[in-house]
Structure 1
């Protein structure tokens, strides 16, 4: 007879699942709204890139803050506070009249997103120790499912005649409800027992091994291509004379490709961790990039975006899984290396492509410079899989 899940575990799973769906919609919202943000605040591509760069750079602050808070406060308390702060920050975004006032609230949301995702992963990891890996993969799927709602939600509000900042007001209300729900239903968790010395020991040896260098390079180029899509794909589609509807749907199709890839990792993760299978995925992503940039019309926009999303969507968990299997004792180091690589890559995608757009006369030309990064991602991951082969 199957053992029934305790009520506390059920409530934790439901609470974190709802939060991850919401944060998924927030994580890629910047790219969906970037053309509107630029028009409202009269931003150049370089200025818009800097805004995205600061947003993604805030993830480092969020990661540090979540680690510090977890040593002092209960995980459920941190989770509730992060949702409450986000509700206030989104309300502020709805009314801020200038980019100087808009930016701090914008960055604060980025920090709270990383805090919530990190603490949410910890809540699930501690509550389901025997099914930790499977549950974390499910959270990844839920986050991606939520991300698809961002372009579709923006499109729905636009077709309904609403001003673009209405989306922030909607999210403010939803996060207010989430904060209330978490306060009522999320079980009280014990204080963390882990000492700072243990945490330091876990993360020592950062980037000292060749496989970690290659893992970091993979993260760097993965972050570049993923954030180029997340940040600029709607702007690129508009620059290519596609309609606003087509641009947002193209973004949603790219995210749908990522969703399919991440669902596959839930069921066939071990097969996907085989180097050859992963390289096939990245080859599809490269093909999708070429089709997207050089193919004619709406069908190349649809096909290219789906192939890119499908090709890169599962690379992060696949690469991390290979690194952990290769050196189980350095799991925390591998995770930090890959994450920092992705964050560094996001800076290239945001700031460099924004600057390049101003130099080359538009986002359309700058976006065509992403192809070399897909090639570098394929090469670095091939070298990484060779180094970690058993």
Structure 2
């Protein structure tokens, strides 16, 4: 695992400013969760488009998403140091500016067109999202009662899912709906060079729109009167941590691979969904039609997180995670071993079971870390890089078939079940940190 990260985040036990100011800050954070969910899931419609434009294998297609999540590994530590140096508000502005710049780079990438420049543009966007993520998740987790941390993070993550839910409709209409490959029937003849060039340029308008929205949001945040965090942003004193070890906390030690493995499952389903349901023996849909069903997958995640936000105020988070992992494993096996609409709807339904997994694993992972919460949060955020291993599923799809590759997802759900039942139980628990 990666080295501990100094988040410089608001996780030290200091009294907050007013509750009203924090509610305003959380509302603003919700808009950021929405935007990075929206932009991340645009990839779900972008990947089948790029697969047709560049005539890519499944391995090459999922490599695009791997580059996206590799950014989490490389950008997490620099992001944490930047937040410590210039503060939260300026860091959010920088992150949004980076995302806007990456979106603009997609314009020349489409006009050339260039697979390499596309990879670079997506990497820049992902680095900007990483900067936002490093601060937002631990902030929301500790800005209230520890026992309702999972509920709180599920609620804010629902805005992330709302963005993810709308993204397939946006991408389906402005990307897939305006291309030859996106509107062609499954199994249609390969594109001509002229059609490839025309299809490639279809991403220019949507990414210019995305860049404009990000720029506006950056200006809003720069001018927004966020509460000064003051002493609450400082790391706990070294004396409080010198005799403590992260490795003594079972819930963190097993939580980092749980986040890593969960991301393989979530991203694999989202990014291969359109190709899967478009197959003649599954949904027999065009890519544009399939993007409308991807909307339902992410919509299920939004609904599940809203339900989880309220249910986990009374239901044990570990028990809820166990139920979700069992349900996810079952529907993935159905999607793997059946055909037609049964397989298609099984894959759609996994979004409902995946919904609570990331926020619940995150809050279980930092439970009882006390003054080590900052370092533990950093490790969990870096574990998002697990999404880069979606390329393994692409390789399995090339060798054994796309449907068979979803056995990897089912195996990931089993590890989440192990974590829920045993790995998430705190050991050597310390006094909780909260704002």
Count of residue pairs the alignment pairs up:
381
Shift in CA distance, 13/166, structure 1 to aligned 2, threshold 3 Å: same
2:268 matches 1:252: no
Contact 2:173 2:288 in 1 (8 A): no
Is 1:296 aligned to 2:309, yes or no?
no
Q: Give the whole-Å Cα distance in 1 for the aligned partners of 2:80 and 2:45.
A: 30
Q: Is the aligned partner of 1:174 residue 2:174?
A: no
CA distance in 2 between counterparts of 1:198 and 1:342 reads 27
SS at match of 2:168: helix
3-state SS of the aligned residue for 1:28?
helix
Say if 1:74 and 1:191, in contact at 8 Å, map to a contact too: no
Alignment gaps of 5+ in structure 2: 1-17, 180-201, 430-435
1:148 aligns with 2:165: yes
Select 2:273's aligned residue among 229, 233, 249. 233
1:129 CA drift (Å): 5.8
Which of 105, 110, 118 does residue 134 from structure 2 map onto? Answer: 118
- The Cα of 1:207 is off from its aligned counterpart by 3.8
Which whole-Å CA distance do the structure 2 matches of 1:263 and 1:271 have between them? Answer: 14
Residue aligning to 1:205: 245
Are the counterparts in 1 of residues 37 and 162 from structure 2 also a CA contact under 8 Å?
yes
Deviations 1:315-372 (A, max 9, x none): 233233334445545434543444444433x233x22112222323x53443354333
3-state SS in 2 of match to 1:242:
coil
8 Å CA contact 1:32, 1:248 repeated in 2:
yes
Report if the CA contact (8 A) 2:82-2:91 is conserved: yes
Equivalent residues of 1:219, 1:340 under 8 A apart: no
Of stretches 156-165 and 112-121 in structure 1, the one that deviates more from structure 2 is 156-165
Equivalent residue for 2:155, pick from 138, 149, 157? 138
TM-score where L is the length of structure 2: 0.75
Who is 1:347 aligned against?
388
Q: Distance in 1 between matches of 2:227 and 2:271?
A: 37
On the 8 A contact 2:38/2:167 being kept in 1, the answer is yes
Report the Cα distance in structure 2 between the residues aligned to 1:123 and 1:207, rounded to whole angstroms. Answer: 23
Cα distance in 1 for partners of 2:153, 2:117 equals: 36
Q: Which residue of 1 aligns with 2:351?
A: 309
2:373 aligned with 1:331: yes
- Are 1:34 and 2:47 an aligned pair? yes
Higher percent of residues as helix: 1
Closer/same/farther in 2, CA of residues 386 and 188 from structure 1, 3 Å limit: closer
CA–CA distance in 2 between the matches of 1:278 and 1:73?
Answer: 37
Give the distance between the partners of 1:73 and 1:185, measured in 2 at CA. 16
TM-score, normalised to structure 1, is: 0.83
1:1-390 counterparts in 2 under 5 A? 9=22, 12-96=25-109, 97=112, 98-121=114-137, 133=149, 136-158=153-175, 161=178, 163-187=202-226, 189=228, 194=234, 198=238, 201=241, 205-239=245-279, 240=282, 241-273=284-316, 275-306=318-349, 308-325=350-367, 327-328=369-370, 330-344=372-386, 346-348=387-389, 350-360=390-400, 362-385=401-424
Q: Bigger shift: 269-278 or 103-112? A: 269-278
| TM-superposition CA deviations, 1:133-172 (whole Å, max 9, x none) | 4654432111111111111211232576372443212211
Whole-Å separation in 1 of the counterparts to 2:358 and 2:138 = 18
Quote the offset at 1:187 in angstroms.
3.8
User: RMSD of the alignment, in Å?
Assistant: 3.5
Deviations 1:85-107 (A, max 9, x none): 22222111122121222222210
Q: 1:342 to 1:9 in 2, by over 3 A?
A: closer
User: Distance between the aligned counterparts of 2:220 and 2:288, measured in 1?
Assistant: 34
- What is the rounded CA distance, in whole Å, between the counterparts of 2:44 and 2:356 in structure 1? 20
**Distance 1:319-1:203 versus aligned 2 partners, 3 A rule:** farther
How far is the alpha carbon of 1:68 from its aligned partner? 0.4
Partner of 2:245, secondary structure, is: coil
CA distance in 2, matches of 1:160, 1:331: 46
How far 1:291 moved relative to its partner?
2.5
